[in-house]
Homo-oligomer: A and B are copies of this chain.
Amino acid sequence: MANSQYEYVKVFEQDPILLPNTWLVVRIDGQSFHRFSSTHEFEKPNDSRSLHLMNRCATYVFDQVNDVCIAYGESDEYSFVLRRDTEYYGRRAYKLASSIGSIFTARYVFHWSEYFPDIPLKYPPSFDSRVVAYPTVKNLRDYLSWRQADCHINNQYNTCFWKLVQSGVTKADAEKRLSGTLSANKNELLFTDFNTNYNDLPAMYRKGSIVVRDYVNEEYMDKATSEMRTRRKMRTVVIHEDLIGDKFWNTRPHILGDKK
């Protein structure tokens, strides 16, 4: 049973290489999460346990794959940005997309019970993944802005929708009520009808989650004096800030800067 007569089939395998010197974004997306979240009784409009679980998985990917310089997540999706000079997996498209998708999936199932201790996993969810190349910093930032604007728009809508539903309005009527409304109308509705200031809602819901390496103040004991002191250290953190404006990027030039 020699293998040599069959090995020729390897010529059919094609693994496209992504254009060099472009930013690579691997985006994973929950599949059929509507059904998954309702089966597992997710809170509406946001379930913070699920978001923290997503962030946990994303942080793992971030720390595991050296060339990921920033990750952004909202709802059941996460985007991982690889530096433009990355040679991770030789920039092979399938390898990149499928590996990161699989690592993320595995972590989600693995850590589930830590975030949902009272809700057994009835079946495991899955995530598809893709990889996209962006040639410039502007294109990349616009991509991230697109996802954050999407987060905001969905969250504002869903917040109104579920407030209405929880107040007794039918789903159909809630939909009708919101149809065609502008952002300002929705904030007004929240404020007037539900005494809710949209901007007071948790930043994680409004802005999504950003995984980066950033300076944090860390306490430590000075051995000489046994006193507690504070020092600044670079750590992987999850933050919930606006990344559409320049401030986020200007204060963290290392994110898109060249690899040391």
**A203 on interface, CB distance cutoff 8 Å:** no
Check A6–B132 contact: CB distance below 8 A: no
Q: Contact: A106 with B94, CB < 8 Å? A: no
B102–A1 touching, CB < 8 Å: no
- For A139, the chain B residues whose CB sits under 8 A away are 9, 12, 21
Check B124–A99 contact: CB distance below 8 A: no
* Per-position binary interface string of chain A over residues 3-34, scored 1 when its CB falls under 8 Å from any chain B CB and 0 otherwise: 10111110111111101111000000001000
Query: Which residues 39-76 in A have Cβ within 8 Å of B in the complex?
Result: none
* Cα distance A150–B6 in the bound complex, in angstroms: 10
Contact between A143 and B98 (Cβ–Cβ < 8 Å)?
Answer: no
Complex interface: chain B residues within 8 A of A3 (CB): 146, 149-150, 153
Q: Is the CB of A132 within 8 A of B97?
A: no
| A248 neighbours in B (Cβ, 8 Å) | none
Cα-based distance from A94 to B132 in the complex (angstroms)? 11
How many chain copies does the complex carry?
A: 4
Residues on B with C-beta less than 8 A from A244 are 1
Question: What residues on B are CB-neighbors of A98 within 8 Å?
Answer: 97-98, 101, 127-130
A1 contacts across to B, CB distance below 8 A: 149, 152-153, 183, 244
Interface residues of A in 106-143 (CB under 8 A from B): 106-110, 121, 123-136, 139, 142-143
What total of chain A residues lie within 8 Å of the partner, measured CB to CB?
62
A19-B135 contact, Cβ under 8 Å, with A94-B93, A110-B123, A149-B1: yes
Q: Are the C-beta atoms of A130 and B13 separated by less than 8 Å?
A: yes
In the complex, what residue of chain B is closest to A9 when comparing beta carbons?
A: B143
Q: How far is the CA of A150 from the CA of B3 in the complex (A)?
A: 7
Contact B130 A103 (CB under 8 A): no
CA distance A235 to B258 in the complex (A): 40
For A84, list chain B residues within 8 Å (CB): 135
Q: State how many angstroms separate the Cβ of A212 from the closest Cβ of chain B.
A: 20
Q: Which residues of A line the B interface, CB within 8 A?
A: 1-3, 5-9, 11-17, 19-22, 31, 84, 93-95, 97-99, 101-103, 105-110, 121, 123-136, 139, 142-143, 145-146, 149-150, 152-153, 183, 244
Jot down 23 A-B pairs with beta carbons below 8 A, ordered by A: A1-B244, A7-B146, A9-B146, A11-B20, A12-B139, A19-B19, A21-B135, A21-B136, A31-B99, A94-B94, A94-B129, A97-B98, A98-B101, A101-B101, A102-B105, A102-B129, A105-B106, A105-B109, A106-B106, A106-B125, A106-B126, A135-B136, A136-B136
